Structure 1
């Protein structure tokens, strides 16, 4: 190829100089001009040396003084302010010749931060529910970050991108973090690639968020302890199926919960003052904790969750399985022998 990575080039349309940073295919290269990278065809660029030579004058003319030149102009008011367009993902398909036709070989993914905030981010690629790539890094305001290449055949492996963004300098009115998931749909991707080729454009963009979200207001304090509310609700409702019973008990969490990969539902792990409670009250507290951690796992896009319910008479296990049957986000659940828990735990896998 005429150019190599690192070569200085001249963009013929604007006479701006840039640098070759990557090869796209035999007809295109990726260049960087003033901190911005984009693909161009080879016939749109040239080496800058001839242009530099023709622009230089052998004898420099003395600057001509014009009255008023000595007055300094405040140019800050003429600066163009950058707009906050949000965070988005850019996909650059790389083609190869297959006989007489061009086919997509792989896709290059870049993250664009078009916001005024510097952020730390945590990025994962999952293929067939298996972690394939993990990145922890930072991205500056109005800048981009190269993430990864994905082979085109990987679209058959249900690829999923997981993002978690944190403000590098936390702000009181903004949320601590924001999580985003992007699942690639092969059929939709095929259509967009055909449209891209028809329009003769280079990249596809996917918005992740328009602006960093505001902090959510604090929830009101519970009017009464969850344990006492559960006991009164159970007394009024009587016996019956606990999956339906639990949906009628509105328990307020006493503290905020963090998602877990493993949840222990033994009553002594959930409630310090559990002695003296009836079996039905204990069961309600256990099911309430299970429901809250299940919802947390789903909202945080966890891939699995282990629930330790013990063996006993199997009442808690059966009620948990009844809830899982009615939860559409659950792919599978199994209660089989485990070296650590025996038969006292159920492993849940989410879609």
Structure 2
């Protein structure tokens, strides 16, 4: 028998490709051509090899040589002026990654974090992710002008651990008129994140962002005092090495409850009370630094948390703060923050 079931064949009359579907006898078979079956004599069929070789030559023809093009024959490309973007600061951007759960609902499994520079200046940066004041991830690199830099991913579940994002910037090209470094930080609460994700889902947007700063700050010029003139005017001038002995004593624990600070607190507004408490905190914070104190405990109470948040916001921007923590203390409960310094 010339053919078997499954053999590929060509119908000589129509030059169509088919497959042998059934053997009828030695002289006739059933052929399937694109789903249509019909009987055919074996002498009306052939194997497809001749057809393939007749279509494709065994030795391909040589392609015509491409004429050489010399450099002076290449037309100059016109330089296209791209639209200039307006500087808009440096942002930290979050990209939620969605996956479907067992019920077919879209849930966020992690957040991809990027640093987005929309300014005309490039920066060196040191990035830190902290949980409860402790550094969990740190990265040093640079982000160029109008560029995006991928930092890392964080699990969505870790948002319940009070993450805070800290970035210290400095200029890639130093400028004497600009600050040597600039610190920015961001602390997000889980509720804020949930609301942002719902908002971008409703708008069909892939990301949400927070601005870390708009313009890199100028250098703060220190006032230079003429010590000789001050002494001649009757002011006391101390040597820096001996100045500490003339400072008020520092405290390791400072209680900011308003009744401890003034007897007239009942006649004060909430804003006036808060400002007095913050001033007192600043006073003993500076004294702790002047006396090279390793730890300072601030008792701010629980209350609405406004004073605590105000103090924490200040501490995040202070370079001498190694870390601070507001955890349960047997004497103060959750109403105190412990500050650890670095020198």
1:201, 1:306 → 2: CA distance? 46
Q: Matches of residues 1-351 of structure 1 in structure 2 within 5 Å?
A: 75=79, 78-98=81-101, 99-221=103-225, 224=230, 271=242, 282=246, 284=248, 294-295=285-286, 306-307=294-295, 328=308, 329=311, 331=326, 348-349=338-339
1:173, 1:291 → 2: CA distance? 28
Output the TM-score relative to the length of structure 2. Answer: 0.50
1:252-288 CA distance string (max 9 Å, x none) = 9987xxxxxxxxxxxxxx62795xxxxxxx562657x
5+ residue gaps, structure 1? 1-57, 61-69, 232-251, 256-269, 275-281, 299-304, 308-319, 337-346
Q: 1:102 to 1:213 in 2, by over 3 A?
A: same
Q: 1:253 to 1:169 in 2, by over 3 A?
A: farther
Q: 1:86 to 1:130 in 2, by over 3 A?
A: same
For the Cα contact (< 8 Å) 1:163–1:181, is it kept in 2? yes
- Match in the other structure for 2:31: none
Moved segments of 4+, more than 4 Å: 70-76, 222-225, 252-255, 290-293, 295-298, 323-328, 330-334
Q: 1:95 to 1:75 in 2, by over 3 A?
A: closer
1:121-157 CA distance string (max 9 Å, x none) = 0110011222110111111111111111111111110
- Match in the other structure for 1:310: none
1:172-209 CA distance string (max 9 Å, x none) = 22211111110012111111101111111111111111
In structure 1, the residue corresponding to 2:157 is in which secondary structure?
A: helix
- Match in the other structure for 1:28: none
1:74, 1:253 → 2: CA distance? 68
In structure 1, the residue corresponding to 2:139 is in which secondary structure?
A: strand
What do you get for the CA RMSD once the two structures are aligned? 4.6
Structure whose CA Rg is larger: 2
For the Cα contact (< 8 Å) 2:250–2:284, is it kept in 1? no
